[in-house]
Structure 1
Amino acid sequence: MPKAYVYTRHGGPDTESFVEQPAPEPGPGQLLIAVRAAGVNPVDWKLRDGYLRPGAAPTELPAVFGNEAAGTVEKTGPGVEGFAVGDAVFGSTLTGGYAEYTLLPAAVTAHKPDAVSFTDAAALPVAAATAYDAVRQAALPAGATLLIIGAGGGVGVAAAQIARATGLRVIGTASTGKREFVESLGVTHVPPGPGLAERVRAAAPDGVDAVLDLVGGADLEAAATLLADRTKLISAGDRGRVVKLGGAAVVRLRTAAVLDDVARLVVSGALNPYVTRTFPLERAAEALRAVEEGHALGKTVIEVGA
């Protein structure tokens, strides 16, 4: 029986366990894939804690962890076109990625280029696609300056590279331990925390043209004071606070076309998913702790099948 890593109720790590369950059956417009790799993201543990996405229905429990995966098509549901058994694909999951099998919506699934590994592809649907949507939403001209709050995590690393590829100057907050890494991306590093606005002004005397926040809280509020145009204040880290500050949450397009574009950036060398840690499915708990404790650098991926 296939294995999956689930949470049985809302709460902390004590709610997590492995279960054996049948492979799900693809419905209309769905693909069943044999998972080769699954990305790990902060939203995974937040959903376990009880976070409810805006407009989403309550999660049915037990629920399989994971929101992005790459693998090979095992079966197609009614009405699916453009995919065949054996195709290598990646996308956002319907039934969780920390599993040997999962379902993907065909309309928001992309074919994996041969030049992109399953491990790297599994890191793209959430973090890289969110970064792509956010940079496009900022709509800055080449030469403008983007401030990224939280540049050392999965979304921040992708956003920095995508922004740089479009000709933007990037300033990014990250812990001191991540300074060398973010600077290797061509980012001007500034430490987070009290005094952030003053440090950013010193790093960018001409000001910043947009802010992409991935952390929320006090740093988001400080960054807002740097903008004359609050429509350029965008957050994937604190939806409620950014709206109160006059900004907006990242608008996720969630299309196969975005995934195709992101994959092309990887193939071209403009975007490195920076998968810095991998774990086998049997160590899913360790993978999740690495992200939940906030010390992960780049992306963490669970490798499932050979």
Structure 2
Amino acid sequence: MPKAYVFTRNGGPEAEALVEQDVPVPGPGELLVAVRAAGVNPVDWKLRTGYVRPGSAPQPFPTVFGSEAAGVVEGVGPGVEGYAVGDEVFGNPVTGGYAEYTLLPVAVTAHKPAGLSFTDAAVLPVAAATAYDGVRQLDPVPGSTLLVTGAGGGVGSAVVQLGRHVGVHVIGIASADKKDYVESLGAVHVESGDGIADRVRAAAPDGIDAIFDLVGGDTLRAVAPLVDPARLISAGGKPLAVALGGAAVARARNAAVLEAVADLAATGVLRAHVTRTFPLAEAGAALRAVESGHTRGKIVIEVTG
């Protein structure tokens, strides 16, 4: 039987397990996909602890980890058009991506460009799409200055690249050990920690025009006064951003956005920056790496189907 990495209850890593499960059956509007790669995101371990996405019901146990996946279509559900067995696709699974087989709804699925690897495609549905939605929401003017908190992470690195692509000057806040990485993306690095607001002012003497926050907490509190609240959005500290007069990143969550980020990745505008990969059998180690909060770029679980 095919394998999947799940959590059997809410809690810590002790609730995780590699199990065997039946191959899921695609319903209306769904694709059965043999997974080749699955991106690892902070929301994955947060769901294990009991976090429930706004507007969603608590998930039944066992729940397969994984919010993004890429693979090959093995079956097509009723009413599906535009996809066939053998197509290479990526998207947001409804039955978890840390598995040999999953279901992808066509509403949040796109064809994988031929020149893009499964590993790189697997990190687009959450990180790159969030970055794309947020940059489009801010709609920064070329030549303006964008501050990105958490610039060394999966979403942050995508925000930096997309900002540079539209002609924006980007300042990226990240830890000291990510300085070279953030600068390689085209941003001016500012070290996180106490005194961050003063360091940002020094790096941007003409001021900051917008903030894309990915960490929340004390960092967001410190830098929020640097901009008009209407120019502050967050995917990492949404309640705090709203309390400060800003807004949450407005996610589109549709196939059109996935197609757009795939085109950007295929043409080299958006580099995935996958820094580590793990086999499905070591999914727990992949989660621990992301849960530590110190990873740079993206981590991917590579699945051999």
What residue in structure 2 maps to residue 291 of structure 1?
Answer: 290
C-alpha displacement at 1:238, in angstroms?
A: 1.1
Whole-angstrom CA distance in 1 between matches of 2:76 and 2:41: 27
Whole-angstrom CA distance in 2 between matches of 1:259 and 1:6: 26
Whole-angstrom CA distance in 2 between matches of 1:51 and 1:232: 28
Whole-angstrom CA distance in 1 between matches of 2:143 and 2:60: 47
TM-score by length of 2: 0.99
What residue in structure 1 maps to residue 251 of structure 2?
Answer: 252
Whole-angstrom CA distance in 2 between matches of 1:147 and 1:68: 27
What residue in structure 2 maps to residue 128 of structure 1?
Answer: 128
Report the count of equivalent residues: 305
Whole-angstrom CA distance in 2 between matches of 1:128 and 1:55: 22
What residue in structure 1 maps to residue 42 of structure 2?
Answer: 42
C-alpha displacement at 1:249, in angstroms?
A: 0.5
C-alpha displacement at 1:175, in angstroms?
A: 0.7
Whole-angstrom CA distance in 1 between matches of 2:209 and 2:304: 44
Decide which moves more: 194-203 or 65-74. Answer: 194-203
Whole-angstrom CA distance in 2 between matches of 1:300 and 1:290: 8
Residues 148-202 of structure 1: CA deviation (Å, up to 9, x unaligned): 0000000000110011001000001111110011001111001112211111111
Whole-angstrom CA distance in 2 between matches of 1:222 and 1:55: 30
**RMSD across aligned positions (CA):** 0.7
Whole-angstrom CA distance in 1 between matches of 2:80 and 2:58: 27
Whole-angstrom CA distance in 2 between matches of 1:44 and 1:107: 21
SS in 1 for 2:226: coil
What residue in structure 1 maps to residue 61 of structure 2?
Answer: 61
What residue in structure 1 maps to residue 87 of structure 2?
Answer: 87
SS in 2 for 1:225: helix
Whole-angstrom CA distance in 2 between matches of 1:232 and 1:168: 14
Segments of 5+ residues of structure 1 without an aligned counterpart are: none
What residue in structure 1 maps to residue 189 of structure 2?
Answer: 189
SS in 2 for 1:277: strand
Whole-angstrom CA distance in 2 between matches of 1:45 and 1:111: 27
Identity of aligned residues (%): 66
Whole-angstrom CA distance in 1 between matches of 2:171 and 2:126: 22
SS in 2 for 1:173: strand
What residue in structure 2 maps to residue 277 of structure 1?
Answer: 276
TM-score by length of 1: 0.98
Whole-angstrom CA distance in 2 between matches of 1:254 and 1:21: 28
C-alpha displacement at 1:58, in angstroms?
A: 0.9
What residue in structure 2 maps to residue 167 of structure 1?
Answer: 167
What residue in structure 1 maps to residue 303 of structure 2?
Answer: 304
